[in-house]
Amino acid sequence: MHARAETAASWPDEIFSILQRFEVRQVPYVPDAGHSQLIERVLGSSTMRGIALTTEEEGVALLAGAWAGGQRGVLLMQSSGVGNCINMLSLVQIFRLPFLTLVTMRGEWGEFNPWQVPMGSNTQGILELSGVKVLRASHPEEVREVVEAGASQAYNACTPTAVLLSQRLIGAKVFTK
């Protein structure tokens, strides 16, 4: 059994409010425990469409279609999913899409699972090599500011942006068995 050290965090609600304010309509996601509270808010929203994906690169393409059709979106995924997206991030660069993704980090800060470490260690580098600017939030009190900045530069300045929500913020998974 794996379990996160649960606390009733307010930052996922702050992210939801920011997405509302930026009029985000399509929210494709591959679930991660760190995103679960935000996903619940999205699925309960009347203005946003939560879209469960089979793999993260579908979400990059979906956001391309969403924007070309006139709607903003954001891709929610775990750091391991960034690796799945590499070829599809070409779309973001060549079509000049206002791409925003929120990435919950694994493979850092107290990680127990060795499988998560290579991808977690390379997440930022891969995104930057793929033309995506990277911001990071490590403490609850900075989430609102960092996600606001990310959404602003993505949607207003058409700057592809990933916000990494660090494992320090989310709380490292606890290995209980």
Tokens of 25: 């309509």
Residue 68 found at the interface with other proteins (CB under 8 A): yes
Q: Which residue among 7, 70, 114, 141 contacts other proteins (CB under 8 A)?
A: 70
* Rounded least distance, CB 19 to other proteins, Å: 16
CA distances from 11 to 29, 50, 101, 125, 141 (A): 18, 19, 16, 25, 8
Residue 62 found at the interface with other proteins (CB under 8 A): yes
Q: Which residue among 36, 90, 121, 156 contacts other proteins (CB under 8 A)?
A: 90
Total residues at the site for other proteins (CB under 8 A)? 31
Question: By C-beta, is 70 or 114 nearer to other proteins?
Answer: 70
Residue 52 found at the interface with other proteins (CB under 8 A): yes
Question: By C-beta, is 84 or 166 nearer to other proteins?
Answer: 84
Question: By C-beta, is 48 or 146 nearer to other proteins?
Answer: 48
Question: By C-beta, is 95 or 112 nearer to other proteins?
Answer: 95
Site residues (CB under 8 A) for other proteins? 25-26, 49, 51-55, 57-71, 73, 87-88, 90-91, 94-96
